[in-house]
Amino acid sequence: MASGANANMTAVRETMDVLLEISRLLNTGLDMESLSICVRLCEQGINPEALSLVIKELRKASDSLKASDNSTS
């Protein structure tokens, strides 16, 4: 039974490594932790397109805050 769990964990790790490489090739800017969260959300039924829109909006908001902080410094 333990070897089956190890094999499953190895398969999950390899899958995440492949997804991370694809993410990097597409210049998504997601690190392994962020990508893992996105995968888990999609597995739970979150619409991937909606998730990508939220991520883009959060990045825009973050960039705006950084720009306003830089202009006031």
What pLDDT shows up at residue 20?
A: 97
Give the whole-angstrom CA distance, residue 31 versus residue 57: 18
pLDDT at residue 67 greater than cutoff 60: yes
Select the more confidently predicted residue: 1 or 56. Answer: 56
Q: How confident is the model at residue 52 (pLDDT cuts 50, 70, 90)?
A: very high
Give the whole-angstrom CA distance, residue 57 versus residue 59: 5
Instruction: Give the tens place of pLDDT for each residue, 20-48.
Output: 999 999 999 999 999 999 999 999 999 99
